[in-house]
Structure 1
Amino acid sequence: GFKVPLVLSHSEVQAAAVSVAPRLTPPYREEEVRFSNTEAKLQLAGTLTVPAGAGPFPSVVLLSDAGPQDRNGMAGDFALLSRLADYLTRRGIAVLRFDDRGVGQSTGERQPTIGELVTDAQAGLNYMRTRPEVDLSNLGLVGHGEGGNVALLAATLPLPPTFVVGMAPYALPGGVILAQQQETTLRSLHTDPAQVTEAIKRQQAMFEIIRQTQDNAQAQAIVANMMRQNNARLDPAAAQVTAADMVTPRYRYFLNFNPLEKLPQVACPVLLLYGTADDMLNVETNATMLTRALRNNKGITTHKFTGVNHLFQPDRTQWPLLNGEPKPNLSPAASDAMRAWIIGQVVK
């Protein structure tokens, strides 16, 4: 029988608490800040880094990938957003990064919907508009993964950013993304192809139950029962926990989310960045679909970087050695392409 446990939740890069070694004072200003999302009635806390000099500077707000993330975007011991903020600020770009809702010093409930995250992005932009160091005509959003989709949605609303950078945003509907992640996981475990097909069919049946059953308690009970019947070895309590996560407002929203629906309304310049070693999504499919959806936007640019993964780390052979051990770094090619493109918007 099929013994591989189903992976049914939206794959998320989990925040992790790690010890951080002391670092030298950077050649730019750092400030702990707080700002309000008045629509959601919550406070968001973050770090603003400003280049040395008088300014005003081109500026960006960083948006994290799916799941509760701190302002540094920690994934294991790799702080993607912190590294990116440091890289950009050293090169003349002011950066705001902040703790997600319910994480670190930010208030609010964890696991907001994508629509709710858009209001957090708008709150970050409005805060930056109060800062004299920020060039108001060059204020953009940089989003990683799901954060890229949040940034694109924010660009369709009043008071949009002046540009958007998407780092591996997706184009396929949420339910399709979940199915592809399930398939990738099972194939990585060398599961028999026929069993993979059956697992995807069962997953789709669960999705349909969730879509058609608005009563959360009933939907949870049905999904948990389906999971147990599909895998008798699954602990009943674990099935209930997973099923409960699958009927949350965030999961329901993501299941029906169409990333392309509003993209024709995006008028600002957009830079899309992908790595060919990304195992979280199909790069060719998603990059092509997003580029096509933005075809009426004259400022769309897409780059793909060989060997770069979803965290925008280069191939392991390019990692620097620390105490004789290779340590992941931010892809120099991707980060420099982003910097050059952002600075290029200032000239235009």
Structure 2
Amino acid sequence: MVRTILAVLAVIAITAGAQARDERFSGVWNGVLDVGAAQLRLELRIEENEDGYSAVMVSVDQGGAAIPVSNLDVEYPQIDLQMAAMGARYTATLTEGRLAGTFSQGGAEFPLEMARGGVEATGPELAPGESEVFVDAGVRLAGTLRLPEGDGPHPAVLMLNGSGSQDRDVTIGNHRIFAVLSEALAEAGIASLRLDDRGMGGSDNTPATGPHELGSDAGAALAFLRAADGVDVRCTGILGHSEGGIIAFLLPDASQPDFIIALAPQAGTLEETLLEQGEAMNRVMGASEEVIEATRARQLAMLEALRASPPGEAEAAVEAAFLAHGIPAEAAPQQAAFWGQQYVQEAAALDPAAALGGYDGPVLGMFAGNDLQVLAEVNAQRMREARAGLPTTLATVPGVNHLFQASETGSPAEYVSAPHAMSPDALALIAEGAGEIIAEACSAGR
């Protein structure tokens, strides 16, 4: 649930309120946001409309997502873009035909200079054995199908990523998490399909209203995978990470997988997950008991506001809860715009134990020993209890964080600086475990 700037920055769609037009800002701009561990190419497109301006800022290296912002103000020579849903802002001054200013988010500030002109468009990077595909799930989902070398048909997995808008590769900084995992699976003889989330890359920008809608998307994608040339229709499953590890259990009855591989799955409720990760991260950062308790109280107040509000109408109540628990007035609307979404309401109402126990096929659950987002021991126990009497294998990979990277503390701050997109040892264990559960599922002729 917690994302660094590299994970959440994707595409910012901005609709300006009424203001005086100034053609000096109109057009396409580009620049590079240097956050230390990675450099992100950005493209800002500003157009005039009857109310003033509309604009879109695209993070070229992280796919695309239309994320509404609170305001766009222009007063020559300055421009101010505020993005409430991300808690981000870009303020700049137009000087000698260039925008020079500061991009800020979550208390961090980075210089950002932009020049006129767009970034040269490039398609997704395709490795040998990969092809660009499109899935019709009621919305169009773009993705990459990867087949192993050799004659098929091959066993295959649909890859589902965690919470937050992600491209098909789960690009975080310079790491392409799912691209690396897909390569390891291909080397083990397993085909895979990975997709851009709704609103990212080549997928339609139609937000999902809740986890069950993403389960329906996954059902359509699994049907597509089963029909693909080179794929064994009798041996197709799902590999889900984090929230994707629970979405894997939410597919429609007519679209059930032959097996499920769940990596660091959120086996607890949203309340349990947020409270546990909040305390774990605070302790790693050396926070006092007072800060830990204040964080917990704020989270509980937010969750109660979600429960007490009608579907899709929680934002005001969440903002009030944040204000009552010490969030500054200038930050509360930004936080509420994210946490007050209907999707979060439905996620908070989801019962993961019922979902886990509702699937009777073979399941492999793998947890990360240093994970601060989905704590390994408690979530493994939840999965063990929910799937009592059902074919389930559980394992924990030591020394790795939520992304299965070698890690000292498990802190998300280490994600972009990790030496590998995923630990080579973790990749080997995942591929080995996948091969074993595929043998179990497909030899049984499920």
Q: What range is the shorter-chain TM-score in?
A: 0.7 to 0.9
Offset of 1:279 from its aligned partner?
1.3
Tell me what 1:202 maps to. 298
Give the 5 Å matches for 1:87-102.
Answer: 87-102=184-199
* Counterpart check, 1:11 vs 2:2: yes
Counterpart of 1:183 in structure 2 is 279
- Kindly provide the amino acid, as one letter, of the partner of residue 295 in structure 2: A
CA–CA distance in structure 2, aligned partners of residues 36 and 171 of structure 1: 29
- Residue in 2 that maps onto 1:303: 395
Structure 2 matches for 1:1-348, cutoff 5 A? Answer: 10-12=1-3, 14=7, 18=40, 26=127, 28-37=128-137, 41-110=138-207, 112-154=209-251, 157-214=253-310, 219-231=314-326, 234-236=328-330, 238-298=331-391, 300-315=392-407, 327-344=419-436, 345-346=438-439, 348=443
Q: What secondary structure sits across from 2:428 in the alignment? A: helix
Partner Cα distance (2:362, 2:249) in 1? 10
For 1:214 and 1:112, the matched residues in 2 are separated by 13
- The structure richer in helix per residue is 1
CA-to-aligned-CA distance 1:144-171 (integer Å, 9 cap, x gap):
11111111223x7223111100000022
Unaligned 5+ residue runs, structure 2? 11-39, 42-60, 62-124, 409-416
SS in 2 for 1:260: helix
Q: Contact conserved, 1:68 with 1:111, CA < 8 A, in 2? A: no
Query: Per the alignment, do residues 199 and 15 of structure 1 end up closer, same or farther by CA in structure 2, a change over 3 Å counting?
Result: closer
Are residues 144 and 215 of structure 1, via their aligned partners in 2, closer, same or farther at CA, if it must alter by over 3 Å?
closer
Q: Structure 2 CA distance, aligned partners of 1:203 and 1:51?
A: 45
Letter in 2 for 1:48: L
Residues 12 and 296 of structure 1: CA distance in aligned 2, closer, same or farther (over 3 Å): farther
* Identity among equivalent pairs (%): 29
Asked which structure has the greater CA Rg, the reply is 2
Segment drifting more, 242-251 vs 277-286? 242-251
State the distance in 1 between where 2:126 and 2:134 align. Answer: 22
Task: Supply the distance in 1 between the matched residues of 2:129 and 2:389 (Cα, whole angstroms).
Answer: 39
Q: Distance in 2 between matches of 1:55 and 1:270?
A: 24
SS at match of 1:135: strand
229 and 287 in structure 1: CA distance in 2 versus 1, 3 angstrom threshold: same
**Contact in 1 for aligned 2:208/2:214 (Cα 8 Å):** no
The question of whether the paired residues in 2 share the 8 Å contact of 1:16 and 1:77 is answered with no
TM superposition outliers: structure 1 runs of 4+ over 4 Å: 15-20
CA offsets, 1:75-101, max 9 Å, x none? 222111010011111221111111001
**CA offsets 1:182-240 (integer angstroms, 9 cap, x no match):** 323433443321342243123312321221122755x43343234234337x143x311
Q: Which has the higher contact order (CA 8 A, sep 6+)?
A: 1
Aligned to 1:4: none
* Separation of aligned partners in 2, 1:160 and 1:228: 44
1:257 offset after TM fit, Å? 1.8
SS across alignment from 1:281: coil
Q: Which one has the bigger strand percentage?
A: 2
The alpha carbon displacement at 1:116 in A equals 1.2
* Cα pair distance change 1:61/1:307, threshold 3 Å: same
Deviation digits for residues 2-41 of structure 1, max 9, x if unmatched?
Answer: xxxxxxxx42462567578xxx985x4211000100xxx2
**TM-score after normalising by structure 1:** 0.84
113-122 vs 240-249, greater mean Cα deviation? 240-249
Contact map agreement 1:47 1:71 (CA 8 A) in 2: yes
TM-score (norm 2): 0.66
- Unaligned runs of at least 5 residues, structure 1: 1-9, 317-324
